[in-house]
């Protein structure tokens, strides 16, 4: 059975952006179920149409994209809130960082190529990287020290993780892909995916972008330091317990 394409809401105060993105997605068979020109309209559209994904401009008049994202993702119970990808002009925008801590799954620059836009939207339901973890890391390193009070809600108790899961989270936070994690820990990619899935579940995170933020905000990684060289050697040894 063929998986249905994601259903998308586009929220941007520029009609040309909404129209252009809508045409690109429609040409690839992706259903744009609603458009919105401000945050209030976006929240209403999500409640009415229950999309899989929202493409959300950060800076809009009235209720901006950041507040709209908070409202959309704060909903409790079924149905599960959609994933939100922020639209921005600058990749190191402090509002993008605030959106990630509020639960957004990533961000796209408004000059994104059609191919990248379609690929990001189609990945929306997988929980995998909607943006490069390395970009997330660079963004977090720039703002984590300044925004810790505002983002305290994302702090997590890492004692729920096993030692191996802590190692995986630390390396994931430095921007490594599943293939790179597998090579570092001498595990199969399937086992790495299992570890990542367990980390997300235990810490109640929606996706890898959130995991990068948590790795820094909990002090597991120090901004500017990444994973210490000594850890590379220590964590590259095969586990005495297969599958850990």
Q: Render pLDDT for 99-153 as a digit per residue (tens, 0 to 9).
A: 887 788 888 889 889 998 998 888 776 655 555 555 666 777 777 655 554 444 4
Give the per-residue pLDDT at 192.
Answer: 94
The Cα 142–Cα 15 span in angstroms is 32
Give the per-residue pLDDT at 60.
Answer: 92
Please count the other Cβ atoms lying within 10 Å of the Cβ belonging to residue 197: 11
CA pseudo-torsion sign 106, 110, 115, 121: positive
Q: Which range, 13-22, 69-78, 217-226, is most confident?
A: 13-22
pTM (2 decimals)?
Answer: 0.72
Cα–Cα–Cα angle for 169, 174, 180, rounded to 5 degrees: 80
Give the per-residue pLDDT at 234.
Answer: 30
Give the per-residue pLDDT at 243.
Answer: 40
Q: Which of 103, 122, 107 is nearest to 205 (CA)?
A: 103
CA pseudo-torsion sign 202, 197, 92, 10: negative
The Cα 22–Cα 98 span in angstroms is 26
DSSP result, 17-47:
HHHHHHHHHHHTT-EEEEEESSHHHHHHHHH
Chain segment 144-194, per-residue pLDDT in tens:
655 554 444 455 689 999 999 999 999 988 878 888 899 999 999 999 999
Please count the other Cβ atoms lying within 10 Å of the Cβ belonging to residue 198: 16
DSSP symbol at 177 = -
Helix (H, G, I), strand (E, B) or coil at 8: strand
Give the per-residue pLDDT at 75.
Answer: 66
The Cα 40–Cα 191 span in angstroms is 42
Chain segment 24-81, per-residue pLDDT in tens:
999 999 999 999 999 999 999 999 999 999 999 998 989 999 999 999 988 655 568 8
Buried b (16+ CB within 10 A) or exposed e, 199-218: bbebbebbbbbbbbbbbbbb
Chain segment 224-235, per-residue pLDDT in tens:
654 433 333 332
* 11-15, 26-30, 212-216: the lowest-pLDDT one: 212-216
Q: Is the pLDDT of residue 242 over 70?
A: no
């Amino acid at each position: 059975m063929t998986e249905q394409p994601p259903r998308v809401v586009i929220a941007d105060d520029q009609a040309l952006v909404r129209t252009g993105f809508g045409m690109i997605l429609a040409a690839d068979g992706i259903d744009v179920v609603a458009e919105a020109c401000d945050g209030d309209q976006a929240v209403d559209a999500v409640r009415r149409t229950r999309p899989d994904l929202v493409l959300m401009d950060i800076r809009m008049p009235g209720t901006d994209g950041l507040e709209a994202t908070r409202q959309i993702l704060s909903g409790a119970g079924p149905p599960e809130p959609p994933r939100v990808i922020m639209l921005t002009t600058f990749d190191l925008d402090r509002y993008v960082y605030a959106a990630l801590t509020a639960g957004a799954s990533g961000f796209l620059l408004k000059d994104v190529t059609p191919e990248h836009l379609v690929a990001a939207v189609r990945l929306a339901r997988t929980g995998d990287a909607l943006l490069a973890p390395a970009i997330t890391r660079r963004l977090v390193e720039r703002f984590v020290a300044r925004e810790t009070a505002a983002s305290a809600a994302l702090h997590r108790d890492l004692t729920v993780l096993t030692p191996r899961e802590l190692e995986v989270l630390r390396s994931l936070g430095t921007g490594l892909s599943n293939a790179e994690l597998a090579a570092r820990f001498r595990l199969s990619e399937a086992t790495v995916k299992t570890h990542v899935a367990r980390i997300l579940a235990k810490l109640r995170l929606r996706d890898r972008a959130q995991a990068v933020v948590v790795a820094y905000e909990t002090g597991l990684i120090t901004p500017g330091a990444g994973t210490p060289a000594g850890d590379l050697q220590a964590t590259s040894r095969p586990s005495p317990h297969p599958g850990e």
